[in-house]
Structure 1
Amino acid sequence: MVVPVPIDPTGQSGPTPGQARGRRWRRTSAGMYVPADVDSGRVEQRIVEAAAVLGPHGAVTGWAALCWSGARWFDGSDGRPVVIATHVNLRPDPRWVPCKEGIDPRDHDRVDGLPVTTAVRSVCFEARHAPDVATAVVALDMAAYSDLASLEECRVYTQWRLRTWTGVPQLRAALVLADENSWAPTESAMRLVWTDAGGMPRPLCNRPVFDLDGRHLGTPDLIDAELGVVGEYDGKDHFSSARRARDLTREERFRTHGLEPVTMVGADLADPAAFVARLRAAYQRASRRPAAERRWTLAQPRRWIPTETVAQRRALDPWDRARLLRHRRAESR
């Protein structure tokens, strides 16, 4: 990334006035420049250029702070402007959105030299200012996915540091619905459809399932721990012939052990009616299944290392973290 620099009459630390007017430099904000060949489309560069206008005591916040701190799912691919917490009066600019909410000194952080708000403050900001509760839930889920903020940390922060701030009722509602073990925004969306439009009990997220001898059958996206209804989200990466073959084998393995799979696809996110019908049919079949056919359990064998919570994942050493969590990146979409 290239940090914007001011004009330097000597040309040593920045462009001279003449160079700044030429084609080899690009103006990023008032009096600040980067070389013209720097890619302004990269999300990290967008964040760096926005940070150049912060002024004293300001910080990048919201999705951009989470992105800069390493959150996988806050990648700026939707083109949203960078949110900057600052009291500087700035000219309107589509690249960033100033926010004049106060920042407690305890909420300041610096990551790789860039001033950002802490992960807990940043994700709570995202959830408070999200367009709806569902979007707020996804933000909390995905910050937890990267282990940047636990739900308990967010609850404590909300209780003691936010209280009557804008959007706190929505944040509190989202905290009730959020989960620390969702692996992708689409999984979070499926979970919310499952309980809201579907009207079914809240499922567990990415909980490993075993046969009665302790062999791992698979880790479905969602599972009803009581009836064994299993929810899977199939994104575009599931449509290749090889992947589809693996999915069908896995589905059959679930069925032969007494589980009842149901699948959501991308079109169901826009109009969940068809998925809801499949979900309710799966629940009806599961409710009629004799108890003797249940050959699965969520009880983890002693050798198993659980990774369902932020606390459990943070406690892993680097080797176990790389070994036990690599499948999340391979499976998530």
Structure 2
Amino acid sequence: MTDFHPSCPAPVGLVRPVRVDPDGDSGPRRGTAAGPSWRTSSHGLVVPAHVPQTVEQRILEAAVRLPEGGVVTGWAALRLAGAAYYDGLAGRTPRPVPVLLPHTSRIRGPGVLVERTRGRLPEPVVRHGVPCTPGDLALLHELSRATSTRAAGVMVDMALAAGVVDLEGVRQVAAVRRLPAAAAYALERACAECRSPRESEMLQVWESDVGFPRPLMNRQVLDLSGRVIAVVDLLEPESGTYGEYNGASHRSRERQRRDEARADALRGVGLEGFVLVAGDSERVWRERMSSARGRALWLREDQRRWRLGAFVPAPPLPDEDEEAFEALMLEHYRSLE
């Protein structure tokens, strides 16, 4: 289990760039703009130097350069809709902001990835002052640039987890488009029960690589009295196999103590588990999954000493608690190392 949260809080403190103004009325004069109090966001546009260069601020700074009819799309539109996975990074390198423009339009300056269309552009959804494509189309645009089927699968699962798209809606839009193979795979096997990127990867290895039937994700395990023993990342009720992904937050002594107590309680009711940790190879993942499933008891439902509980979605975001959210995202970045 990681501490990643699929949703991100609404951005605060976004500052729209202003143009350098020779008269100093609507913006700073050129000399002032060149000083330490201002930062150039693009040609002729500046923001106060103290404004943090968050991912949302970077999207806004790109969006102010959009020509008429242009919209932000792809990861940037999904981020502004509230999907935390779309952090605008390739490793630690900022990715260009994807924009969709009418065929004859142009946009000046670096930092954008341009896609043009001869067709009718979608009705924009304005998010935090930025015109965006609707979530389903933004996801399809992002899927078209997926580097692998695995990455495409995570993209879809994390958009679903954040609640920024509806799977059937995306599939309907996709039905009239020509999709790359990775996008078609991702929409076919999509799972709305994964709460983190690593859970999505674990599910895809279980299903696509090892070839096991689809399990349940993020389900309660109850004892026969109805008490919750644990919420496990992956569960195959038929075999009695469960799986967990433990990120960096599980390395503390207290967390390890709780994890061992939890594992012991699950063994006590006859469940067989595997644990994946950061740094494991996918070969290790496959071996642990197969080994645990091979050891499982495969009991009939009336023989089990446990009961299946409810699906547990991600908890609500902390109210106005930026520090707590930053801690969640730090765990996300560590899990990618």
Deviations along 1:275-318, one digit per CA (max 9) or x if unpaired, are 21121111111156687752122255xxxxx556xxxx9xxxxx
2:263 to 247, 251, 258: 251
Read off the aligned partner of 2:171 and give its amino acid letter: R
Length-normalised TM-score, structure 2: 0.81
8 Å CA contact 1:203, 1:223 repeated in 2: yes
Task: Report the Cα offset of residue 99 of structure 1.
Answer: 1.6
Task: Report the Cα offset of residue 23 of structure 1.
Answer: 4.4
Q: Sort the Cα spacing of 1:55 and 1:322 in 2 relative to 1 into closer, same or farther, 3 A.
A: closer
Read off the aligned partner of 1:64 and give its amino acid letter: A
Q: Sort the Cα spacing of 1:322 and 1:184 in 2 relative to 1 into closer, same or farther, 3 A.
A: closer
1:128 to 137, 144, 150: 144
Q: Trace 1:126-205 onto structure 2 (pairs within 5 A).
A: 126-159=142-175, 162-164=176-178, 167-205=179-217
**How many correspondences in the alignment?**
306
8 Å CA contact 1:4, 1:28 repeated in 2: yes
Q: Trace 1:290-329 onto structure 2 (pairs within 5 A).
A: 294-298=304-308, 300=310
Task: Report the Cα offset of residue 235 of structure 1.
Answer: 0.5
Unpaired segments ≥5 residues, structure 1? 301-305, 314-319
Task: Give the distance between the partners of 2:211 and 2:31, measured in 1 at CA.
Answer: 66
Within the alignment, does 1:80 sit opposite 2:57 as a pair? no
8 Å CA contact 1:181, 1:206 repeated in 2: yes
Higher normalized helix content (fraction of residues): 1
Task: Give the distance between the partners of 1:228 and 1:274, measured in 2 at CA.
Answer: 20
Instruction: Name the counterpart of 2:290.
Output: 280
Q: Sort the Cα spacing of 1:107 and 1:169 in 2 relative to 1 into closer, same or farther, 3 A.
A: farther
Read off the aligned partner of 1:81 and give its amino acid letter: P
Give the percent of matched residue pairs that are identical in Structure 1 and Structure 2: 35
Query: Highest relative contact order (Cα 8 Å, sep 6+), 1 or 2?
Result: 2
Unpaired segments ≥5 residues, structure 2? 1-13, 319-324, 333-337
Task: Give the distance between the partners of 1:330 and 1:97, measured in 2 at CA.
Answer: 29
8 Å CA contact 2:231, 2:312 repeated in 1: no
8 Å CA contact 1:150, 1:180 repeated in 2: no
Read off the aligned partner of 2:258 and give its amino acid letter: R
1:12 to 8, 25, 36: 25
2:223 to 175, 199, 211: 211
8 Å CA contact 1:210, 1:297 repeated in 2: yes
Q: Sort the Cα spacing of 1:108 and 1:19 in 2 relative to 1 into closer, same or farther, 3 A.
A: same
Length-normalised TM-score, structure 1: 0.82
Task: Report the Cα offset of residue 129 of structure 1.
Answer: 1.8
8 Å CA contact 2:239, 2:298 repeated in 1: no
Task: Report the Cα offset of residue 173 of structure 1.
Answer: 1.4
8 Å CA contact 2:82, 2:162 repeated in 1: yes
Deviations along 1:38-97, one digit per CA (max 9) or x if unpaired, are 333x2122111111221111111111111112112222244222112224324562x221
Deviations along 1:141-173, one digit per CA (max 9) or x if unpaired, are 1111111112112112212xx422xx4443221
Task: Report the Cα offset of residue 217 of structure 1.
Answer: 1.9
8 Å CA contact 2:274, 2:288 repeated in 1: yes
1:27 to 32, 40, 54: 40
Task: Give the distance between the partners of 1:75 and 1:286, measured in 2 at CA.
Answer: 39
Task: Report the Cα offset of residue 267 of structure 1.
Answer: 1.4
